[in-house]
Amino acid sequence: MPWTMRPATADDHDQIRNLFREVFGYQRADEHDRWLSFENPDGQSIATVAEDRAQIVGCYTLLPTMLRLGKQNVLGAQSLDTMTHPDYRGQGMFTKLAIQTFELAGERGVKALYGYPNEASYPGFVRRLNWDHTGDIPRWTRVLKPSVLRTIPRPIGWSLDAAASLLVPKGDEGAFEGPPPPSKLAQLITKCFDQPDICRVARSVEWMNWRFSPASGRRYEWVTAEMDGELAAVAVWGIREDGHGVLTEIMGMDQPAVNIAVARAVRAAYRVGVPALHTVTNEPVAIRALKRARFFTRKPLPLIVRSMTHENLGGNIHNHSAWRVVAADIDTY
């Protein structure tokens, strides 16, 4: 019997997780998947599944996300967890699931899509599904414990660890007790995000509390920088499934404040013993702070976008130089 398609429901949660394990070879915590699919303040995930004899054999998902396009908030969605069971590949399943999901998203008021495809999904998105590859976003890594990296022989690694410890930024700890007060965070968001023509994932206190919630399973920790008693920058870092650190959020009103927040995140990650801290961003102020804190660039991520409307939105999503991307905008960080 040929496979069929239908919108996913909450009851499909366990089967979709089983398919994820089959396709990607590992499993995320159930709590993480529920947090991502059902607790997002911008809306529950929009997904279509392919079924064969009551078994889910393919799934395509969009995660609703408020975008800040110029001075306008627009409902968008991130494309993620594209998967076709190995026995069903090459039959157009991904393409068909995606088109059906775009329709569902349109009905939910989604106006623009964005994503970071890998080599397998890129051709489908760009050649078959009318996505536009706007350009690439740099990935960054700060090595904290060289001995843990597989490419370095043990004794050399240990001496490099000692050398690396000398390069960890020194200084006081700074405020460090969970998210800053909501009113201060809201003020910082307004100051940092009120720019014309820029396209980015929007921030709100509610969204940030969800994004960095313990339910994500990533043990996120906030660090802040204050200037003249005002909250001037925040960084959020966490620990992903493989034990590596992720520097997920970097936001601040000026260069000195962002430098302090990034240095504090590096220090905090070093203390806990994570081997390396990884992030993604093309935000110029964040990049200067990362370079100062000895991050180096790695293979970049392609940014792809797709418009879902003929309306003129507040910023041109097809113009790569308009985009400001930070790791928190990507579900895997």
Residues in contact with ligand COA by the rule CB under 6 A:
23, 82-84, 89-95, 117-121, 123-124, 127-128
Q: Least distance in Å: CB of 119 to ligand COA?
A: 6
CB-based contacts of 183, cutoff 8 Å, min separation 6: none
Nearer to ligand COA, 76 or 146 (CB): 76
Nearer to ligand COA, 129 or 258 (CB): 129
Q: Least distance in Å: CB of 85 to ligand COA?
A: 8
3-state helix, strand, coil split of the chain in percent (to 5) is 35, 30, 35
Rounded-to-integer distance, Cα 141 and Cα 189, Å: 26
Nearer to ligand COA, 120 or 167 (CB): 120
Nearer to ligand COA, 8 or 192 (CB): 8
Tokens of 229: 């008693």
CB-based contacts of 123, cutoff 8 Å, min separation 6: none
Nearer to ligand COA, 40 or 95 (CB): 95
Q: How far is CA 51 from the centre of its chain?
A: 29
Nearer to ligand COA, 3 or 222 (CB): 3
Q: Least distance in Å: CB of 154 to ligand COA?
A: 33
CB-based contacts of 89, cutoff 8 Å, min separation 6: none
Q: Least distance in Å: CB of 117 to ligand COA?
A: 5
CB 249 within 8 A of CB 200: no
CB 114 within 8 A of CB 317: yes
Nearer to ligand COA, 26 or 166 (CB): 26
Q: Least distance in Å: CB of 81 to ligand COA?
A: 7
Q: Least distance in Å: CB of 329 to ligand COA?
A: 15
| DSSP 3-state of 129 | coil
CB 325 within 8 A of CB 200: yes
Nearer to ligand COA, 40 or 91 (CB): 91
Which residue, 111, 170, 134, 196, is CA-closest to 325?
134
What are the C-alpha distances in Å from 244 to residues 9, 131, 220, 311?
Answer: 33, 31, 12, 42
Which residue, 79, 58, 65, is CA-closest to 6?
58
DSSP H or E run through 223: strand 221-227
Q: Least distance in Å: CB of 296 to ligand COA?
A: 25
How large is the angle between the packed helices 255-272 and 284-292, nearest 10 degrees? Answer: 50
Q: Least distance in Å: CB of 84 to ligand COA?
A: 3
Tokens of 272: 């806990």
